[in-house]
Amino acid sequence: MRQFDLAPLYRSTVGFDRLFSALDQFVSAESAPTYPPYNIERTGETAYRITVAVAGFTDQDLSIEVRENALTIKGERKAAETRKGEFLHQGIAARSFERRFQLADHVQVTGAALENGLLHVDLVREIPEAKKPRQIQIATGDAPRSIEGSVQQAA
């Protein structure tokens, strides 16, 4: 396993912090956690769903936080309730976890649901009107120039 130190690059550049953070995460991806397993699916043109397998966790054991462009899902089991017997085999993992997802710009979390041991987190990408492409009409000869969109005229 190779270790790359990107700290000197941080000192010599301005405005590229996000790029170097992405590179740093990519380099450390080899040691990324694999628990709990998850799926990412597209459910519509601008809608997505992250499904995380959280068998044995309740909604009180889970927390979902969005900060800047990062979605963090944490799971921590509360103190185990008293059981009458003892486990001969315990194959269902109930260890604490923290799973992070880097969200693209303009992606918002719209909801979350826990069903049958699966945590579903719904996302939607909402591009602001100012960022959407617009059509610009080309003027020829004496034709007035116009830009498609809504224009308010002064009275």
Give yes or no for residue 67 having a pLDDT over 60: yes
Average pLDDT score over residue span 85-111: 86
12, two tokens: 């010599």
- Give the model's pLDDT for residue 39: 92
Residue 140's pLDDT band, with cuts at 50, 70 and 90, is confident
pTM here is: 0.64
Closest of 56, 121, 124, 126 to residue 94, by C-alpha = 56
Write down the mean pLDDT value for the chain.
78
**Beta carbons of 123 and 110 less than 8 angstroms apart:** yes
Closest of 87, 100, 98, 91 to residue 56, by C-alpha = 91
Give yes or no for residue 13 having a pLDDT over 90: no
